[in-house]
Structure 1
Amino acid sequence: MNLIKRYIQAVKIELPSSQREDTRRELQSTIREELEALHEYAEAVWTRMLSNLEPRGFVRNIFCRSKE
């Protein structure tokens, strides 16, 4: 999140003062929404991948090996 704050700060510096706060809020909101969507997508892909591997016993084999 520090990188995002630094990015938004760098953008604000380049804008006229009258646009800075609105732009900050809009950028922050857009970035947050995109990160949430990316997280949801990654979760769905991970779940689908695991569900495809489980019938073949791959997941069970991986977890059993990691406990040894």
Structure 2
Amino acid sequence: MAGKKEKGSGIQQAAGLIRYFDEESEDAWKISKTQVYVACLVLGGGVYLLNHGVLQFIWSAISSLF
């Protein structure tokens, strides 16, 4: 049988990660919530348009002009 875990071992391990990720670098990129929302909407909209063939239609219409 496997032995029991110590009662506080998980908290001690997480405390090291919290200390590690709590430090912020001056060189790190700063990404706002708005940028994340916009990126998700653009990516989701692009996938939606690809699934419904809209972008292929636009591409073929542009290609036929040249």
So what's the TM-score if we normalise by structure 1? Answer: 0.38
- Please identify the structure whose Cα radius of gyration is greater: 2
Identify the structure with the greater helix proportion. 1
